[in-house]
């Protein structure tokens, strides 16, 4: 298996883990405790797992796969990470005033996390899956 193929597979797994952890954040606010599932730990783990793939230079990527790679890279860096930072800020705000957390604010937060998870699955996981399929056919 090529290095690019291995990194793509590892990135795919990292994105799925990231998506799952983001999805569980509203539960954290309700007192369900998952190990290392606070926003700083989530993003740190994701970046550690995803950066080897995201930091590839163009010489490591087959030419016919560069457009797909560049789309994935741009979506993660320009949309997913900034959206997660907004969720992280809101999580911090809500978790510092947990006694006053009401149903509406929890629902609004859950909707934001669900939206981000949907974006991750539709635009990052789906495209990475296609990239992995292309690599397996070579």
Question: Which range of residues forms the domain containing residue 120?
Answer: 3-136
The number of domains in the chain is 1
Kindly report the average pLDDT of the chain as a whole number.
92
Share above pLDDT 90 across residues of the chain, in percent, rounded to a whole number: 78
- The pLDDT score that the predictor gives to residue 1 is 46
- The CATH number linked to 83 is 1.20.1420
Integer Cα distance of 7 and 77 in angstroms: 17
Q: How many helices (H) and strands (E) does the chain have?
A: 6, 0
pTM: 0.92
Low-confidence ranges of the chain (pLDDT < 50): 1
């Amino acid at each position: 298996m090529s290095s690019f193929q291995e990194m793509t597979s590892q990135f795919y797994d990292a994105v799925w883990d990231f998506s799952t952890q983001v999805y569980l954040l509203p539960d954290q606010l309700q007192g369900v405790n998952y190990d290392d599932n606070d926003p700083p730990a989530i993003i740190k783990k994701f970046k550690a797992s995803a950066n080897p793939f995201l930091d590839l230079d163009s010489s490591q990527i087959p030419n016919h796969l560069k457009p797909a790679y560049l789309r994935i890279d741009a979506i993660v860096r320009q949309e997913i990470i900034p959206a997660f930072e907004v969720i992280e800020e809101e999580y911090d705000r809500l978790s510092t005033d947990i006694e006053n957390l009401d149903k509406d604010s929890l629902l609004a937060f859950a909707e934001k996390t669900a939206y981000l998870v949907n974006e991750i699955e539709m635009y990052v996981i789906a495209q990475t899956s296609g990239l992995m399929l292309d690599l397996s056919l070579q």
